[in-house]
Amino acid sequence: MQEYLDDRLSHIERVSQDIFEGKEKFIAVTLYEQYFFRAKNRAALMVIVESQGPAETRVKSVSCGSSEGILFNFDWGAADAFASEPIKVLQERDQIEE
């Protein structure tokens, strides 16, 4: 699953990735960064993929740093779109595999 996610998010710069593997479990923590023209700023995206065996996987996707300036926390929807991208990619994967 992590390889699939990396492949589908290849248009986003991957800054760091750590994978911790156990007997039947693994956790992948990946940090991405992308520039958004609408927000005139770079945004960071942290994706945590936690596999608890063959039938259960949890994914958490958090975006930050996408707003312009100190006073206004307005990013034209860049943070929400950025954070939802890994989730959409994995939902598409699940629909394809069924």
Structural domain spans, the chain: 2-97
Q: Average pLDDT, stretch 81-92?
A: 82
Q: Are 65 and 42 within 8 A, CB to CB?
A: yes
Query: Quick one: pLDDT band at residue 98, thresholds 50, 70, 90?
Result: very low
Tens digit of each residue's pLDDT (9 = 90 or more) over 11-63: 888 999 999 998 888 899 999 988 877 666 778 889 998 988 777 888 888 88
Q: Which residues pair with 49 in a beta bridge?
A: 28, 59
26 — alpha (psi -120 to 50), left (phi > 0) or beta? beta
pLDDT, position 79: 67
CA distance 75 to 80: 9
